[in-house]
């Protein structure tokens, strides 16, 4: 028996890598390259793909919408460009599906909230994520944090340095509860070393570890929870989307 049972269901873990419904169950008549940018950048992804000759290889079909899978090439290296849905569960589902069809090197990018004073639009590279979401517990045994592999982090940092962009390595808090970031919980996470918060990092890192692929994340600062008495939306880092996408593409090509 591979399942470790527990009174609390989310703390149960089944080490069996196979499932009743596998992520690669479709017989797709396409070949995926090994590199992909899987990013939380709204319409920036589709605009970039269309402006740079991207071809729609196929779609990921969810219960609510279709996600186009764009194929592009740069410097003779093919790569995918894919919009990531917000939230650990749907994002992990698509990442697992991409991996099942041949993807091995992935960079994700998106905005994060800051728990300490940081300007908007600052680039950050997570080195560790606190697992305050449910999805990662289906991919790795229970633990408080998940580490993010060094190789993709170093690829991202090399590209940031090449553009003379300042950055920090950070510990991020990945949460399912967008509207449950309470004052006490924010302070608690800060005491554990977390300086930013988002919703997917720990889950995507867990998928990558279980499936044995390289995955890294490039975050940029958006809203602020540094003052727990008043949330500051700012502009959620919208102005950083285009450069974040470009940096992500260069980073995945560096891997």
Determine how β-strand 167-175 pairs with β-strand 123-132. Answer: parallel
Query: What are the structural domains, with CATH classification, of the chain?
Result: 31-254 (3.40.50.1580)
Q: What one-character-per-residue DSSP string does 142-208 give?
A: --SEEE--HHHHHHHHHHHHHTT--EEEEEEEEES-TT---HHHHHHHHHTTEEEEESSHHHHHHHH
- CB atoms closer than 10 angstroms to residue 121: 17
| Torsion angles phi and psi, residue 179, rounded to 5 | -100, 20
pTM over 0.75: yes
Pairing mode, strands 66-74 and 77-83:
antiparallel
For the chain, 255 residues long, give each residue's pLDDT as a single digit of tens: 589 899 999 999 999 999 999 999 988 888 899 999 999 999 999 999 999 999 999 999 999 999 999 999 999 999 999 999 999 999 999 999 999 999 999 999 999 999 999 999 999 999 999 999 999 999 999 999 999 999 999 999 999 999 999 999 999 999 999 999 999 999 999 999 999 999 999 999 999 999 999 999 999 999 999 999 999 999 999 999 999 999 999 999 999
Distance CA 228, CA 202 (A): 23
Using CA atoms, how far residue 82 sits from 7, 16, 59, 106, 226, in Å, is 38, 28, 10, 10, 31
CA 145: distance to chain centroid?
A: 15
Query: Are 202 and 129 spatial neighbours (Cβ–Cβ below 8 Å)?
Result: yes
Do residues 140 and 13 touch, judged by C-beta distance below 8 A? Answer: yes
């Amino acid at each position: 028996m591979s399942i470790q049972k527990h009174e609390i269901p989310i703390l149960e873990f089944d080490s069996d890598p196979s499932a009743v419904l596998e992520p690669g169950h479709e017989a797709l008549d396409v070949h995926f390259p090994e590199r992909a940018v899987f990013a939380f950048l709204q319409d920036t992804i589709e605009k970039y793909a269309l402006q740079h000759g991207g071809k729609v290889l196929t779609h990921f079909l969810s219960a609510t919408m279709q996600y186009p899978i764009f194929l592009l090439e740069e410097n003779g290296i093919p790569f995918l460009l894919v919009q990531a849905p917000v939230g650990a569960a749907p994002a992990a589902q698509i990442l697992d599906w991409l991996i099942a069809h041949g993807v091995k090197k992935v960079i994700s990018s998106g905005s994060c909230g800051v728990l300490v004073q940081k300007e908007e639009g600052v680039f950050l590279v997570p080195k560790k994520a606190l697992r305050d979401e449910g999805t990662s517990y289906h991919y790795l045994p229970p633990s408080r944090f998940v580490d993010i592999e060094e190789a993709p982090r170093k690829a991202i940092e090399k590209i940031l340095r090449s553009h003379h962009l300042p950055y920090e390595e950070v510990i991020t808090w990945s949460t399912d509860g967008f509207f449950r970031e309470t004052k006490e919980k924010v302070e608690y996470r800060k005491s554990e070393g977390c300086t930013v918060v988002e919703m997917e990092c720990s889950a995507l890192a867990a998928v990558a570890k279980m499936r044995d692929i390289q995955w890294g994340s490039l975050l940029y600062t958006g809203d602020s929870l540094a003052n727990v008495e008043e949330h500051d939306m700012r502009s959620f880092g919208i102005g950083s989307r285009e450069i974040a996408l470009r940096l992500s593409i260069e980073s995945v090509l560096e891997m």
